[in-house]
Structure 1
Amino acid sequence: MNQKQFEKIKTDHGFIAALDQSGGSTPKALKAYGVDEDQYSTEEEMFDLVHEMRTRIIKSRVFNSDRVIGAILFEQTMDRTIDGVYTADYLAEKGIVPFLKIDKGLADETNGVQLMKPIPDLDSLLDRAVARNIFGTKMRSTINAANAEGIKAVVEQQFEVAKQVIAKGLVPIVEPEVNITIEDKHEAEVILKEEIAKQLETLRDGEFVMLKLSLPTEDNLYKDFVNHPHVVRVVALSGGYSRQEANEILARNEGVIASFSRALSSDLRADQSDEDFTLKLNEAIESIYTASL
């Protein structure tokens, strides 16, 4: 583990940019960026276009380590370069800590939740991540109901994978996302908090995780985790809220910082001039940074 990067993620002001749209979510991300599906015909062309978008964001002078302390990458992005430098190394040169999304998507819903699909090549993927100078990982499950059995299964699976990640010297971001549209969201979050607390007790000295959680219905619900000895940082996902709404809720949750995806890039378009692109990106970064303070 890179101790300097660990300290940056643990203590610095700023937020983590989620640039990890994968195969399933890339068409939607490109469409929001103003690139329609008729503008590419193969998966390779699609990934080339999304890498151009991410490169434009990462290379921007306003995307800097003063406000962006980390960035989550998709596997293909990790394997690609920016100006001839592997993406994680390019970020590290800017002082931004690189993470890797490692899950393979969601299984069908059972007991009101969607577990992660199996990750058959996890060991070799983690070895590649270490070789590419990745600091940590991220994996996502979803919770669609306040079902105690389902939520327990989600958290147990997340921590089981997290321990494999920790064994490789990486820091895992555990992401059991609660769907913000469900009627029993608060009840689901209370169960989730209890299950996370139980799993944190299973970690040994020197084992650390990060928690990426939906913005809670009850302000400061997760405050107990902010200073927990096994938690490096608690970060929040925007989860479908507009950037303004997400920022407002985030600002009320002490010690929690953003890890936004859509809310970061929602005003960016492929056909914007460099000046306009920089202006819109800067506005987004500044508002999310301020809400994360």
Structure 2
Amino acid sequence: MKRIVKIALGLIVSITLIYFAFKNINLSGLMEIISKTNILILFATIPVFLLSYLLRAFRWRWIIQDLKNGVGFGSITSALFIGTAVNNLMPLRAGEVTKAYIIGKKENVSKSAIFATVLLERIIDGLTIILFLLFVILFHPLEGQMQYSGIFITVVFFGALVFFYALLVKKEKTLIATGRLMFFLPGKYRKFIMRKMEYFVAGLMILKNLGKLALLFLLSITIWLVELATFWMVAASLGLEIPLLALVLALVLINIGIMLPSSPAYIGNFEFFGITALASFGIANIEAASFSVVLHAFVFSVLVIFGLFYMWKEGYKIL
């Protein structure tokens, strides 16, 4: 029942955001702009976009090395693309668990520990895009609501990182405190979660090496700069001259927006936050919408095609 409620909530959010994203946009005009997309530029964007995911695979392998040395780059890349495809095709961000399951099974490592590395990656990504948001605010002050949202997201991600670090260096005390905070759960569920957290800690070992952690953040900044280049190339394929700061804000808001409940593939969330970001720089809604739609279609197509290829290669099925 809870699963059905979550799926229904995601659909409601997506439908609502689709309505608000496109309610004032001439759809025939939108399609006319999209029809003029330069396909050659779009194809040239594919290797740039894939580079960001190869860098993600390298980063994830680097984190996992503290858990188990010798995990193959090919295995990591395969799991990453499969998990990302599942996120785009299935509800409830099932791809994050899928990635952990694939590597845990293939490498005979605790799936809970691998899942910890997945969550750590998400936190590092979150803090990195917040850094990008601060860069935008420095040169282009945002409306109050956007700034408050940024502050809230910062607190959430930084708080999660502090919790992970406390779990690593003060394991027993943190586990006891966590157990007390879960007083409302039935005993058997509380024990199950606590047992999994024991294994979970093993995936956080990189946090003990501050030098390596700093390099990890530098790598994450590089990953997001490559993704920003993807945004710029998609805009170029449409013949749109979008300011750099507007593209940075679109990168930030889209990736924050897809954290919200949504339908599979983040339909609605992606477009609404992309349009909102560009509109705040005075870009016409129809141009912002064409950029968001083409970018989303591009990202979805590339990730799903490569994900399905790796599923076929590894012998997995989506259902």
Question: Given the two structures, how large is their TM-score scaled by the length of structure 1?
Answer: 0.28
More strand by share: 1
More helix by share: 2
Larger radius of gyration: 2
